[in-house]
A = this chain, B = another copy of it.
Amino acid sequence: MDRLNQQLQFIAEAGRLRGVLRQTTLADPARRENSAEHSWHLTVLALALGEYAPPGTDLARVAAMLVVHDLVEVDAGDLSAYAPPPEQARQLAAERAAADRLFALLPADQAGPMRQIWDEFEERATLEARFARALDRLQPMLENVKVGGGTWRQPGITAADVLAKVELIADGSPRLGQFARELVDQAVRDGILTADPSRAGK
């Protein structure tokens, strides 16, 4: 197969992400969000909120990460961030196998660097990956507020669970982390997120 056809095959496989539904519910239209449009929305966040990344963050690389970060879901599907650890471990293995398959559709000189972008996002070691991960965690919170609860209404989820996830936002961007904590507090006050029982009365 010639080079362009290899690239087009990758593009076609990637396109299947439009058929992968996430846990997030959209307000308008009222339906579950798919991972392709979610990825796009994250690139809008990166453009609008780039100033909250630490100085020196390469925002073009952040954008590239956001474009490819969910590609593996065309094979592995989406899993709730609140799924129990054994499920998370199975998901991780499935996503790695998907990355092995998908990026290898590209010509070898592209497959390596593209896989590196995905690995970097997963490893969350660089400024770029930490900021990209922060946005990936912030966006569903914004949607939850808009629909009046969304995934926060899942049985057993409390503010403490959500605040634990917010740590990753603060790690990528202190200002956005602070905002996300305020969002959680407001959600509890609005009754769309269950208060942490251990903090009752505080």
**Chain A residues near B (Cβ < 8 Å):** 4, 7-8, 10-12, 14-19, 26, 28-29, 33-34, 36-37, 39-41, 43-45, 47-49, 52, 60, 63-64, 67-68, 106, 110, 114, 142-143, 146, 175, 179
Q: In the complex, what residue of chain B is closest to A29 when comparing beta carbons?
A: B19
Complex alpha-carbon distance, A64 and B10, angstroms: 21
Q: Give the dominant DSSP class at A's interface.
A: helix
A68 touches which one: B7, B10, B33, B47 (CB < 8 A)? B47
Complex alpha-carbon distance, A44 and B8, angstroms: 10
Complex alpha-carbon distance, A36 and B143, angstroms: 15
A12 to chain B: which residues have CB within 8 Å? 142, 146
Complex alpha-carbon distance, A179 and B11, angstroms: 15
A44 touches B63 (CB 8 A): no
Name the residue among A16, A36, A39, A175 with the largest chain B CB count within 10 angstroms. Answer: A36
Complex alpha-carbon distance, A39 and B49, angstroms: 19
A18 touches which one: B29, B47, B175, B179 (CB < 8 A)? B29
- Given A7-B49, A11-B48, A63-B67, 15 extra CB contacts under 8 A: A4-B179, A7-B48, A15-B26, A15-B143, A16-B28, A17-B37, A17-B40, A18-B33, A18-B41, A34-B37, A36-B40, A39-B40, A47-B64, A47-B114, A63-B64
A37 touches which one: B18, B26, B44, B52 (CB < 8 A)? B18
